[in-house]
Every structure is written in C-alpha cells, then in structure tokens.
Amino acid sequence: MFRLEEHKEETENKAIAKTVLPSRAYIPLSQHLGRICNPEVKIGDSVSTGQRIAAADARIYAPIHASLSGKVTSISDWPHPLLGRCKSIIIQGDGQDKSQIPNPKSQTDIENLTPEQIRNIVFEAGIVGMGGAAFPTHIKLSPPSPVDTLIVNGTECEPYLTADYRLMLEKTKEILQGIELVVKCLGVKKVYIAIEDNKPQAIEKFKIQNSPPKAGPPSAEKFKIKVLKSQYPQGGEKQLTKNILGREVPQGKLPFDIGVVVHNVATVFAIYEAVYLGKPLYERVVTVTGDCLENPGNFLVRIGTPLSDLITQCGPLKKKPEKIIFGGPMMGFAQYSLDTPVIKNTNGVILFSDTEIKVAEEAACIRCSRCVEHCPLGLMPCLISLACQKERWDAARSYGCLDCMECGLCDYVCPQRRNIVQAIKRAKALLNR
Amino acid sequence: MPDKLIVSVSPHIHSHESTPKVMWSVFFALIPAGIVGVFIFGLAALKIIIISVLSCLVTEALIQKLTHRRISIGDGSAVLTGLLLAYNLSSNVPFWIPVIGGIFAIAVCKQAFGGLGANIFNPALAARAFLLASWPKHMTGFSKPFSPDAVTSATPLAMLKEGKVADLVQSGLSYMDLFLGKRSGCLGEVCILVLLIGAVYLLWRGYIWWYTPAGFILTLGGLSWIFGVGGFFKGDFLFSILAGGVILGAFFMATDYVTTPITKKGQLIFGIGCGVITFIIRRFGGYPEGISYSILMMNATVPLIDRYVRPRRYGVKK
C-alpha cells in the first residue's frame, strides 16, 4: 500500500455537468464481462433513448441500450477502449432525445418489490460494475451462498478521478436509497460505506444523511461509514475486506466466499436510477481531466460518446496529448484512437502531455525491494518479472503471478522503470492458456 | 489534435524515484566521512579516493564501450563502488593499489556477472578481499592519525588481536576518540560520527532500512560483550562497535540492494549473520577485523535466504 500523488484538485470541485448530446453514438456490443451481445436492431431502424438494442442468450451478460434517439446507421467494427476493436451499433442522433422511460415509481410500489423483481429490473437496465471490472450486477445481487456483509465502495483510490466523489456529494440520498435496494436483494445485516479520508466532505454528507430519522442514539445509524486511509489500492475488493472486516479472501476465491459483496457507489446509484426512475444504464459520470485540457471536469456522459467529442467539450487543448487513458492512471487503458467511445465502466478519461508521461527505457532489476514492500498481496513482483524475462513460467507462478490483481503499484515504485505489470499480464495469458 | 498516441500497458504514472537518485544520495551521504578522512590522514587520503573512483569509472566505461552497451557511468553506481573501495583502504597504500582494486571491482566482480543488478558479491568488498590476499603488506599498514610523515600504527582491533592490551591502554584511546575517528584504520571508517549522520539521512529518505544494520551491530556488540576476552559478560560492547569498520559496513555496504536479501525479514537474518561471522573472525580467526569477509560470505547466502524467506501472501494460510 502506498500514498500516491493524487492530482484530484483539478476536478474535485467541479460539479457534475451535462455534456452536449453527441451527434453520433458508437455503442459496443461488449461492455461487460460475459457473453458478447447480439444486436436486436437493424441498419435503418429508428431507436429511442433507453431502448434495448442488444442482448445475448446467456446468463452472464448485461443487455445494452440506445443512448440517443435516432437511426441506426451501421453495425460494424469500431475502436473499443479495452478490446482494441469490437462490433458496435452506430446511432445517428436526431437531436431530440426522445425516450420511452416510464413514469417514476411511487415509494409504496418500491417497498412492495420483491428481491427477485429488483434483480430483474437491474438486469433489464443493463447494469454492470461501474468501478472497473464491469461484471454484470444482477449476478452479484444473487450470490450462490448466503452473505452477511455489504461493502459499498466509495474509496476512489485511483489518482485524478473524482467522478465517484462528485456523485457521493451530489447524490448522497439516492445512493443511500440504492443501498437499501441492494440490502433487500442480498438480505445482509451489516453494511459498510467505505470512503477514503481524502474526501472529508463526502464523509460528512453521508454521516448527516445516514443519521437516524428521529432523535435517537448516534449508534442507531443505518449503515456504518468506514473512513479508510488514503492509500492505493485501498479500493481493491481484497483490501476492503481486509481493512474493514479483518477478513482475507482466500487465494483464488471471491469475496462472497467469505460472505461479503462489494459494490461501487456508481453502480449503486445506477441501481437507484433503474428501480426508482426506470432508467436503464445509458449514461454515466466520467471525470475528464489531464494536463492537456483547459476545462477539465466531471460530466454526465452518454454511453457511446466518442473521445473527440469529450475533448471538444473540455477544450481547447493547452498541450498536445501524448497518451490518453480510459480509467485511472494506475489501471486504465491507453487509447490509440480519438473515435473510442465511453462505455459502461469508463470512470475517467485522462489526457496526458509529454510532461506527465515520460517514456523510459526498462533497466535491470537492482533488487531494491520496493515492489515487495508495497505489494498489497504480499507477492514478489521483481522476481516474477525476472522469471518472465527468462521465460521461466513455472517460477513466475511460484512467485504468485496468478494471484496478482495488476494494481500497478510495483511498477509505480520501481526506480528502474521495469514493466512488471506487462510481464505479469503476459505470464498470466500464457499460464492460463 | 494529436496524430499519434502512446499506447502502453498500465500503470501510466510513476514515482519520481530513480536508481541514479538513490546512488548519488548514498554517495553524498558518504562524502562527510571522506572529508574527515582527509582531515585526519592528510592529502594522501584524497589521492586514494580520487584514483579509486576514476579507476572504477574508466573501467566501467571501457567495458561498456567494448561490449557495445550504453555507457551508464552517470548512474552513480561505479562512482559509489570506487568511493567505498577507497574508504576500505589505508591512506598510505601505493597509488596502484586503488587502480587495480577499481579494475577488479568493476571488471571481475560487477561486469563479468552482467553489470548492475547481476553481481553476487559487493564489488568494493570483493576487490578489497582480492587486494588483501594479493598484497597483504600494503593492505595492513595503517597511518597514524594526524602524522604528516606517514608513520604507521596498528589499529585498535589489531592491538587487541595481538594481545597487546597494554599498548591499547597506553595509547589512551577513549570512546570519544574512537567515535570521532582519532585512531588508525581505513580512511573512511574511522569517524563514526559523520558516518552515522550520513546513515540517518539515508534512513530518513527511505533509501536504506534499519533491519540489516540493527541486526549486524547488535549481534556483533552483543556477542563481543557475552563472550568477552576477560570472561562471560565482560566484553566491551561499545569498543567492538566503535573500533572497527562495522558502522561503515553495516550502514553502507550490508545495505547494498543488489547483494542483499529482498525481504525485510531476510535483511534482518543477513545482518545477524554478518554480526556472527564478524565476531567469529575477530575472536577466533586470524584477522583482527572481519567486516568485509562477513558481508562477502553472507552475500553468498542471499539466494538461499531469498528462497526460504518470503513475504506472507494475502489470502494464503500458513
């Protein structure tokens, strides 16, 4: 664990703003872990905002919705932030943003919903884990064995990103309502809202909103607000279970194996919107930042909005971008095209100039042990990277490379700039083949 | 709008630490000890330091040139090797001793193994061992402090080894003399005060860790006290720490990244091992001092320590 330079000050005071509707939306058919969707519309079809346009015949997937009203002009390969290229539905917007979204439900309707009905609404809304992994949320709402604890992840430990933070400040009540829904689905007793101590305002807001309705002892608060130290990677599921509950997820297992489910705050907010407002996941909050932009900020962005539109929105450019990242700077993905669209798990878009991005040659390991000291999983990254260099894959496995969650901290602290994560990704791909 | 973008695997940001920064910091932490060395032993000490550093630098550059690799003498590692080698020599060795020492350190002990990061033994210490084995007469004559005529005198540990306790008493060395460096010895090891200042700086910067030095010093001092020459628990803890090269060795050479264990627990074991071996050499061996050999011997055990001492992995029960 390590305290990184956070660079959150550029956007943390920028309220969530709406973007201009993109003229075209490029909606990839794979935005989740699981089966890729098949289009349910044809070229030339008219679609409305929020209409389901793609689904799959499988259990683990999430349906995909139109984020604009307009015409489907093409269904073809298009740049994808994670996969390089992916089959995508391209919608030419009509500028009217007509939507089919039903009227909001009343409080009694919502209180009468069964867990099964909530799960179904979440599935129909196409919600996935919005913190990064994009695992379909309805699956995480129906664990195969009983769970006792829910952790709502509002740590946002990646530098530069403030989207979750703004959401927590501006939509505190909605997030708490979303948590109630999740609690109903999971039947858990204990709920922790995890926030890092670099977000005192968010902690304060949650403490006020979460206080018991009438005069009562302070211990009667519904959910526990857990203030965690600001250090990377505090928001990893394994770190959260350890630092909040003192329980470790056994090697090769998932948090629900020890009775814990972790949901990101943005996901919980999407659940609120789906259940209360009937709104499927077709837009999300994205931090657009980096030292190249004149006007960085947090924006409510339609899924499928291309990168070039976001740059226009936040421009003009102060400096020439050398590297553009979707996600955070520690675990995000570098992009090769300005056509790449925002997808369901894009929490940030960062434009770095050459002053922030220094390309350095990889040098020999000097065994300084910084990576071993900071690895949150107790692995020996330097030895894994040396083993990979010599293509000794069994040795790489014995040093724990398959357990690695690729948080990138070893790489970050390496004084020799060794590409440790790259080596580990390669080893994993080869060992899992 | 950009026409070309850099695409690489995460992470996309890095800390500002770099190996040259670490190496030069260690170098500067050692400079005060050099200045005091020159003050105590005269300009001869400065000559040895300069020759040793130059010898290492030239050797490194030549080998990298001959093997068509990038010349990396700016990273500070060869300079540091040269400085440490000089600090482990007496100020009155002939000029060719540091020349040969520097060549041996860089060519044989470092580059022959593959350069920075690949060597098993600490190059400066291995070179010192080589010089001591080859030219013992030059390597064991130490100047008296503040004597312009290069009068030699035995080191306090040598007096003790030869049983000349009377000489030691007669020389009237106080702990304060030892602490400030008013004794004969290697030119960089004598002034404990400035070495400790440098060490504290490195500890504060997080460039070295306390595990190895603490293990080393406490083990050596403790064993010297328990198994004292005069009987059980009658040894001199402070004398054993102040009189030899243990401060220089423990803080600046047993903490070398490349040749010591990776884990903190391993580093503690390494330090304790160094302490035990040094004690055995001093008490039962043929040499009055055993710092260099103890570190070199423990260097050889590093692969073994790293094999068995691993950090506790998350989610794995013991």
DSSP A60-125: S---EE-SSSEEEEEEEEEEETTTEEEEEEEEEE-SS--B-PPPPPPHHHHHT--HHHHHHHHHHT
B1 close to A (CB below 8 A): yes
Q: How far apart are CA A20 and CA A312, in angstroms?
A: 10
Chain B residues 103-122 within an 8 A CB cutoff of chain A = 114-118
The answer to whether the CB atoms of B118 and A364 lie below 8 A apart is: yes
Domain spans of chain A, in order of start: 107-277, 370-431
Sequence-ordered list of residues with C-beta below 8 angstroms from that of B6, at least 6 positions apart, any chain: A322, A323, A334, A357, A359
Q: Which residues of chain B register pLDDT less than 70?
A: 1-2, 148-150, 318
B15 close to A (CB below 8 A): yes
Cα–Cα distances (Å) from B156 to B93, B172, B249, in that order, read 19, 11, 17
A357 close to B (CB below 8 A): yes
A300 close to B (CB below 8 A): no
Residues of chain B contacting residue A425, judged by C-beta atoms under 8 Å apart: 9
Read off the pLDDT of residues A179-210 as tens digits, 9 standing for 90 and up. 999 999 999 989 999 999 999 999 999 988 88
From first CA to last CA, the distance across chain A in angstroms is: 31
> Chain B interface, mutation test: which of A251, A367, A385, most B Cβ atoms within 10 Å?
A367
In the numeric block, the tokens 């002939």 are attached to B94
Sequence-ordered list of residues with C-beta below 8 angstroms from that of B219, at least 6 positions apart, any chain: B271, B272, B274, B275, B276, B279
Residue B227 host element (H or E): strand B227-228
B197 close to A (CB below 8 A): no
Chain A residues 362-391 within an 8 A CB cutoff of chain B = 363-370, 372-373, 375-380, 382-383
Residues of chain B contacting residue A400, judged by C-beta atoms under 8 Å apart: 313
Task: Tell me how many residue pairs between chain A and chain B have CB atoms under 8 A apart.
Answer: 157
Read off the pLDDT of residues A255-293 as tens digits, 9 standing for 90 and up. 989 999 999 999 999 999 999 999 999 999 999 999 999
What is the pLDDT, as a whole number, of residue B281? Answer: 94
What is the pLDDT, as a whole number, of residue A359? Answer: 81
A316 close to B (CB below 8 A): no
What is the pLDDT, as a whole number, of residue B167? Answer: 72
Q: How far apart are CA A314 and CA B220, in angstroms?
A: 64
What is the pLDDT, as a whole number, of residue B228? Answer: 84
Residues of chain A contacting residue B8, judged by C-beta atoms under 8 Å apart: 323, 334, 419, 422
Read off the pLDDT of residues A29-64 as tens digits, 9 standing for 90 and up. 999 998 999 999 999 999 999 999 999 999 899 999
Among A323, A324, A368, beta carbon nearest to B257 = A368
The answer to whether the CB atoms of A331 and B314 lie below 8 A apart is: no
Residue A46 host element (H or E): strand A46-47
The DSSP bridge pattern shows strands A283-289 and A348-352 to be parallel
- Helices B19-41, B192-205: crossing angle, 10 deg rounding: 170
**Rg of chain B over all Cα atoms, to the nearest angstrom:** 21
Residue B273 host element (H or E): helix B264-284
Q: How far apart are CA B146 and CA B139, in angstroms?
A: 19
Q: Name the residue of chain B whose CA is nearest to A351's CA.
A: B5
Read off the pLDDT of residues A229-261 as tens digits, 9 standing for 90 and up. 999 999 999 999 999 999 999 998 999 899 999
Residues of chain A contacting residue B317, judged by C-beta atoms under 8 Å apart: 250
User: By three-state DSSP, how is residue A59 classified?
Assistant: coil
Give the architecture (CATH level 2) of A107-277. 3-Layer(aba) Sandwich (3.40)
DSSP-derived secondary structure letter, B315: T
Q: How far apart are CA B294 and CA A383, in angstroms?
A: 26
What is the pLDDT, as a whole number, of residue B29? Answer: 97
